[in-house]
Amino acid sequence: MTSIYLHVRELYRRQRHLRRAPLQPITRRARNSALRIWDDADPDGGSHQINVSQQAKFYANYSNATSKAPIVGANCTVQFPDQTATMTYNATSRFYEYNRTFTSPGLTPYNISCNATLYQRLNLTDSIMISKPRDPQCDAHQSDYCA
């Protein structure tokens, strides 16, 4: 009985730690290139709550691993379960970017892949939580029937 109690307590402690851990952009380095990805829901993207029918932006920092300079003219694509799209280089932000909206709530995985001549292809996978917007009528009346 004691070992089960300790095991459950350790799982609870780990779960609490994971909830408090800040989300960080995901990074991968290769011999001559590096890729870092994030979205609007991540801290680097502003930690925004993204609701259904609301625009979300996805970012890729594909750079030279040594100089840290952006690799301009690369081919970066973002793949979702329902579509694949080409990311556009933004010379102001110096990142590859893509905007889209979602039609249903839930955790949506995505993969970003970048490659360029003379640089190694890199890809990373992340996910974004899409929320169902709260009904203002429910908030105003604090009704029990609202979910």
Question: What DSSP designation does 68 have?
Answer: -
Q: Which CATH class is domain 27-137?
A: mainly beta
- Burial (CB < 10 A; 0-12, 13-18, 19+), residue 59, is buried
For the chain, domain boundaries: 27-137
Residues facing residue 51 across a β-bridge: 131
Q: With cut-offs at 50, 70 and 90, classify the pLDDT of residue 136.
A: low
Does residue 94 contact residue 60 with C-beta atoms inside 8 Å? no
The per-residue pLDDT for range 56-85, each reduced to its tens digit, is 999 999 999 999 999 999 999 999 999 999
Consecutive H or E run containing 75: strand 75-79
The per-residue pLDDT for range 44-64, each reduced to its tens digit, is 899 999 999 999 999 999 999
Does residue 76 contact residue 112 with C-beta atoms inside 8 Å? yes
